[in-house]
Amino acid sequence: MGMHWGNAQQVFNAVVDRGVEGLPPLVSSWELAVKYLSDRSLPSNDLRVEALIRREARKNAFSTAVTNLGGVMTLPVAIPANIYASFAYQARLAAAVALIYGHDIRSHQVRVMVGLSLAGRKAVEVLKSLGVRFTVMLLERSAAQLSEKVLADIGAAVGLRILAQGSEQAAGLILKTIPVASAVVCGAIDWNYCRAVGKVSREIFRRK
């Protein structure tokens, strides 16, 4: 259990760090946020974030589809690379949301909350399993008051979910023998998941 927990924390940190710094050839979360902050057609942060989530979810779906078009020939590379890239892409989205709402992405607490967003609709369950109520955390803006142990446990819990999702995708390898079907299905899944990540990050970082 300890080894799995440690591995999960490493996965979590790697994904969040890559999301914040950017996933070449994609720009960093800072550059992405500035792009939307400087868009004069979007007069409020809420509209900027909504546009960000909508556009980035489409891009995530497309990049996933392209990665999976190789079919069975790319299996050894596409499985780990696709999972890592997709989560890093979603972490970049969550980090950009945090920046648009004025949070300091250099903060350890903010980075953990970026990672928590990767749990999507399961974020409430992750916190509940650690004795933290999601609604109370949002109302009291108490993320900065969470103990280091809880922050570490959040990272490990989300990391385990990333690893679990990787195993679930690996279990569906039969689909990979039909490249176009694989591309369409995986692209649709990541579009939906990326939107969920964006919406959770908006709830976490929006300033009341």
Digit-coded pLDDT (tens) for 92-108? 999 999 999 999 999 99
For 121-161, how does the pLDDT look when each residue is reduced to its tens digit (9 = 90+)? Answer: 788 788 888 887 776 666 555 566 677 888 888 888 888 88
Other CB atoms within 10 Å distance of the CB of residue 158: 26
> Does 182 or 164 have the greater pLDDT score?
164
Query: In the numeric block, which tokens belong to residue 195?
Result: 């939107």
Nearest residue to 75 (alpha-carbon basis) of 189, 187, 170, 167: 170
How is the chain split into domains, by residue range?
2-205
What is the rounded CA–CA span in Å between residue 132 and residue 66?
39
Residue 9's pLDDT band, with cuts at 50, 70 and 90, is confident
Q: Is 104 helix (H, G, I), strand (E, B) or coil?
A: coil
pTM listed for this prediction = 0.78
